[in-house]
């Protein structure tokens, strides 16, 4: 459920149109992953969207950190890593969507699978197939 919560949180943050800082986005994604509480995560996102300065952001982050409780340091680091990977995946999908729109505007009909690289298997080895347009 954690990764779905991260994706939902990032999409909700994008819909607000607020210019979140990298730290705010990272905290919100990590909080969503760790807590799994959609209502509380939505409250965090809405409070972060209504702030006017870094000091308010720090207060909100501190308050929501206290709500979640303390975990061992290694567990928090692992959860932060998973949240960061999900943020990167979400951003890559958004870039791919923009690229597909640009190709569409130039009347180039391509399949999304033709733009992404396919994994051949193994430990992250990329397949011999490269991008084909």
* Cβ–Cβ < 8 Å for 8, 27: no
> What is the pLDDT at residue 111?
67
* 70 CB-near residues (< 8 Å, 6+ apart): none
Q: Which domain holds residue 46?
A: 2-115
126 within domain boundaries: no
DSSP 107: T
> What is the pLDDT at residue 126?
41
> What is the pLDDT at residue 102?
86
129 within domain boundaries: no
87 within domain boundaries: yes
The pLDDT tens digits along the chain (133 residues) read 577 888 888 888 888 888 888 888 888 888 888 888 888 888 988 888 888 777 788 888 888 888 776 566 777 788 888 888 988 888 898 888 888 888 888 877 766 666 565 444 444 444 434 434 4
127 within domain boundaries: no
> What is the pLDDT at residue 132?
41
> What is the pLDDT at residue 34?
82
* Cβ–Cβ < 8 Å for 33, 14: no
| DSSP string across 6-61 | HHHHHHHHHHH-----HHHHHHHHHHHHHH--HHHHHHHHHHHHT--SHHHHHHHH
State how many domains the chain has.
1
> What is the pTM (predicted TM-score) of this model?
0.55
């Amino acid at each position: 459920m954690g990764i779905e919560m991260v994706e939902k949180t990032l999409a909700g943050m994008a819909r607000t149109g607020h210019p979140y800082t990298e730290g705010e986005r990272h905290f919100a994604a990590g909080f969503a992953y760790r807590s799994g509480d959609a209502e509380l995560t939505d409250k965090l996102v809405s409070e972060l969207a209504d702030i006017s300065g870094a000091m308010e952001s720090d207060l909100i982050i501190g308050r929501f950190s206290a709500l979640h409780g303390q975990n061992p340091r290694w567990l928090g680091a692992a959860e932060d890593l998973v949240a960061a990977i999900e943020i990167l995946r979400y951003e890559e999908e958004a870039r791919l969507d923009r690229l597909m729109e640009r190709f569409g505007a130039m009347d180039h009909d391509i399949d999304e699978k033709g733009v992404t690289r396919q994994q051949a298997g193994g430990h992250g080895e990329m397949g011999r197939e490269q991008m084909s347009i």
